[in-house]
């Protein structure tokens, strides 16, 4: 069951390397996505209202590939892992394979990008 989450500006939502068990749908606010490179945080991008964050590790169940921190106060909807698992149970198996293939390809593409 999805639940509301509120975080304040400068609070971390996700930490690179941690285990994933949910993704978030941003209802209000802005976040920044960073990756640690040689003891420095490199900005990979921003997440805005209406977008999802944490979706790749949510789908492929791998560890978080980046850190996400609030720039402004944020309101989010947390979507737990069980939600996608239950959706996949009711759909053709090829849909789950398609989603997992896309997640794997995106993760590999992201790994090849030099930050």
Domain residue spans in the chain? 3-112
Alpha-carbon distance of 66 to 49, in angstroms, equals 19
- Other beta carbons less than 10 A from residue 65's beta carbon: 20
Choose from 67-76, 84-93, 100-109 the range with maximum mean pLDDT: 67-76
Alpha-carbon distance of 58 to 99, in angstroms, equals 11
Give the pLDDT confidence score for residue 102 in this predicted structure: 93
Give the pLDDT confidence score for residue 28 in this predicted structure: 98
Is residue 2 predicted with pLDDT exceeding 60?
yes
Tell me which CATH homologous superfamily contains domain 3-112: Jelly Rolls (2.60.120.10)
- Other beta carbons less than 10 A from residue 103's beta carbon: 18
Q: Closest by alpha carbon to 52, among 88, 103, 9?
A: 103
């Amino acid at each position: 069951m999805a639940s509301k989450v509120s975080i304040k500006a400068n609070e971390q939502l996700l930490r690179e390397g941690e285990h994933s068990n949910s993704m978030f749908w941003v209802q209000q606010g802005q976040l920044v996505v960073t990756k640690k490179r040689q003891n420095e945080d490199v900005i990979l991008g921003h997440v805005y209202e209406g977008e999802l964050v944490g979706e790749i590790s949510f789908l492929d169940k791998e560890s978080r590939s980046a850190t996400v921190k609030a720039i402004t106060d944020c309101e989010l909807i947390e979507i737990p892992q069980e939600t996608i698992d239950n959706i996949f149970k009711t759909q053709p198996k090829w849909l789950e394979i398609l989603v997992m293939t896309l997640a794997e390809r995106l993760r590999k593409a992201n790994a090849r990008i030099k930050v």
